[in-house]
Structure 1
Amino acid sequence: MRRSKLLGSVMGATLAVLTVGAAAAEAATSKAPPPLNAGTLSGAFLSARSAERDNDFGSAINFYRQALTFDPKNTELRQSLLLVLLTDGQFKQALPIAEELKAVPEIERFSRLALGIDAMNRKQYQKVNTLMMLSLQSDLDRMITGLISAWAKAGAGKPNEALSMIAKLEGPEGFNLFKTYNSALIADMAGQKDKAAKFYQDAIDDKVSVAAAPDTYERLVEAFASFKFRNGDRDGAVALIQQASEMLSGRMVLTEFGKEIADAKTVKPLIQTPQQGAAEVLYTIATAIDRNGAEAFSKLYLQMSLPLRPDNDATLFQLGDISAKLEQPEKAIDYFGRIPADSPYSRDAKMQLAINLAILKRNDEAIAELNSLLGSNPQDMRTYLAIGSIYSQDKNFRQAAETYDKAVAALANPKREDWSIYYQRGIAYERLKEWDKAEPNFLKALDLYPDQPQVLNYLGYSWIDMNMKLEQGLDLIKKAVAARPQDGYIVDSLGWAYYRLGRYDEAVAQLEQAVKLRAEDATINDHLGDAYWRAGRKLEATFQWAHARDSKPEPEDLAKIEEKLKNGLPHEKDPGVAKNGTETPKPPVEPAPAPAPDKKG
């Protein structure tokens, strides 16, 4: 019973294809399936809501349109249709509905924003300012409308008025970065170098914002580095990027941009038009609110930024990332695949594209993409981790081990961050039952990163499983639990270690806690059932096994669970039967650690 997850957190980059324009931007949206006829207003409405909850926006649009045929004037239905059209990137189709709803207070924040974006694209700057006046405003709405209005003022040739508008914007302290950043961009575009330099520096000095809005800070670094370069300070630009790369660990975009700056003869401003500036407002707000559970909301703002700047690689990358989070790998592949080869996002996009190919079981294509990345940078450990993870997911541990062997050979001086290469190589060799090769890798991982919980857990459990170094192994797992007390898988390992040692009451206590943390996990429920049985609590054991059976275990595990439900566990003293009465599972294998593209997990 081994758990492994695909390397969903590894960074990546895409096929080298040309960036497409606005028409293609909408081509990436959901293609509604052949229309299904709900037949009634309530049926269409409920079907639309269900599709929306499943992030199936194409079907939701279809059902909302059906519902409106029964009740064409229903404001709630039109509001819902507007939102899913915008979230799905069908901006032009949303505009007529936005016009109808622009005076409805409950939806004006989106209807008037959509109309304002359209007006901004048409360079109707006074109209933009009028549309950005809302009757109901949250702090977030005030920031968005205020910044877009400022960009409209800048577009009208009034940069000083734009800067004054931003200065007067009120809101939480966390908005300061957005205000200062946009002020810097407007001053930069207007050629007000002294003002721009001060705004840029003030924003860079706002270190609190690195954690709160890392994507915005990354864009700020790119913009300021470009400003420095264009004003004769190449060394300052390179130094700024190097400093930011240390603060924003794992951001390969900055690394790639740093290389570009170091070798470039000319560098363009990050923002060159008011339209791009307004798009930047929506992009930075979208990434700042992109947290667990808010992906669709973030996607809405990202999609609304694309009509203003359809070739924005940063937006395409974020849309790919969110599509992957929403379990839409085909869409993710499309977005990542539209990022051109000369973009700083290209390498990361290729890797993410490969990972999503692997999710679709297109492993040969995925590995080919990743091998092409190794061809250009054989020292990129993230790529080895991604390839090894795909092989491991297919239980091809020999190929995984060989991949990690190549990674180790490419490491001149292993550092703390390279612990995962040795950890994953240890797992591959352990699965191949080559413990003499596995153990040194776990020990090397701990040498690089002492007390790393995953390694402590796996090594400690392996020792106990092989009936060697029992107390030392138990101590390692206890350390792992102390470091991650809310990790149900690691707590499960401690409980199962007690079980293997015949300490059933202690096993029950730990496994009950593990089930609380991972109630849906079939293996942990199965473990608790075994522990209950050995502790003499056979009725509870039967209940727990039944729960494990209903939690979608692997087919080979399901057969064993059903056998236990029928006959219980064999007697411990039966010849040839281990204390657990079943094949011993290994601790769960977490994805090979690597920095995630959205930095938020």
Structure 2
Amino acid sequence: MRLIFGERWNGEYCNWIALVNKTLLRLVRTLIITLSLPFLVIACAVSPQVVNMTAQAVPSPLQTTPNLAPPQQHEAYFQFMMAVRDELSMNIDAAKDKYRLALESDPSSPYLHARLAALHVGLKDHDRAIGHVDAALKEPEIDVTTQVLLADVLVTIGVFERAAKLYDIVIQRDTKNPDVFIKKGVLLLSLNKLDAAKQALQRGVDIRPDLPIAYYHLGRVALGQDEPERAIQYFERAISGKQDFLPAYLALARVYEESGSVSDAIEIYRTALMTLRGSPSVLRSELIRLYIKEQSYESALVLLEEILQENPSNLEATLRVALLHVELKQFEKAVSYLETVVTHRPSDVMARDYLGLIFEESEAYAKAIEQYKQVLAIDDKYLDTIVHLGHLYYRMKNFEEAVPLLQKAVQLEPQRIDLYLVLAFGLTRLKQYHDAVGVLERGVALGEEVPHFHYHLGIVHEKLDQADELISHMEKTIDLDPSHSDALNFLGYYYVEQGIRLDEAMGLIQRAVSLQPDNGYYVDSLAWAHYKMGQTREALVQLKRAIILVPDDPVIVQHLGEVYLTLGKWDEARKAWERSLELDPENQTLRDAFQKHGFGNPMVKDGI
């Protein structure tokens, strides 16, 4: 019987390692993109969800220059002016006290209540802010400016519906004020009332067509209504009216990116970098992210190097540069940058983990293990390193060390389905077959129909001589993935070895060969099926081809010897079996057959 985890160790091991490597590659690229500097929180630029209305519609009350519309009472006027001075000097507590004194002298002043409401919002005392809003609105004589400020306060606190009604009152009193229409439109947009938001914003534009902020928010509305082309037009109009309008650049680039025009998005960011003074870091961050997304690592490196020239102590940029050099397989440079990071931040587990990965890739296994162990000494639950160290032990075929690490990884993140596969592989190598079945069944229980799980369950059940389970899982694998060539070959070869369902076996193996015509193991299975069906000469043709594809596989060479023996070519049979025993000296079954057929002692060639 061909033992997938015995004679076929190399091929199946490579499949497992490829699986782990794919997982690690996804992790590396995900981390690089994640580390390509944080995005500016402009979610509002690409979707109509609720946003921070303080930022979008209302300046922070603590940053708003007070409107110099003082109360009429002399003492109130004096205290008001002193409060304004303190507020402009950011002496908020003093300003608050003086506004209160002014209010005592002029208790019917709505504007004093409005200023106090704004100050309390800045101090996050929302209850007092609401109290002053209520007091101001009770006054019969309240001007439009004060009403707008009160509505802005309500927006900042999050009392949106009441704020919208107050904006409507202002609009009834002043139908030509575009700013109020825009404030109302932004508020309605945050509430996802897109049609009403569009109507309000358009009213603002009708009154004053040169308002970039209105076009920006109309672009947001268009995105919410799934009209990206119209959104692009609005964002471009916003930029044409205000060349340094950063949010509009970011929104426009994101629309292009989401529509698949990454090159256009890159061009927008580059234009913004050349246009805006000071090159806002978010632009470089986004441009770096897109370069990495497009695997334009050299371009990303140029920008990161600029950041390091401006600030050589920027360790985050240093780490990103290192990871990009890893992607470019420039390992010496990567090591240099990573060592800089760990020198200044000895407890940086990510940098040490990547040092371990680089040393592992360079086959400096001792150094890799040292870095991984240092990480786990800092944080014994750092999952990436646990997985990486387990993977390294797999590569070293040290399964005794690998399995406990992977068991811990599964405990730490039980929803990561790939960990179950890798752990099961290690358990199988340790001949802990029942444990391997348990691990794989836990993976299946996660609710995902993954062909690999059923395939490897079939392999382990073969080890346990559980034929029904083996066949069931292999058939399930093929049902889920008809192009799963390993399962097709495995099940077909199993039938051949058992001497059952040979026609079906031939069909399965032929499907596997059609998917991978240059896979020597599949060609060997095809040859063996021909042999078992009495088609010896066709078997010989296929075996010769299999040996060309896989020259040093002991099973294939043993099969060749058996075919030669059947054809009466005893000398060729003896030579083939001698070669097979050289490749696998522990094959006692073949050694016995060698002597049984009168070939003598297989350790003594040509009678010597």
Query: What is the TM-score when the length of structure 2 is the normalising length?
Result: 0.47
Query: What is the TM-score when the length of structure 1 is the normalising length?
Result: 0.48
- Judging by fraction of residues, say which structure has more helix: 2
Query: If you compute each CA radius of gyration, which structure gives the higher value, 1 or 2?
Result: 2
Q: Which structure has the higher relative contact order (CA within 8 Å, separation 6+)?
A: 1
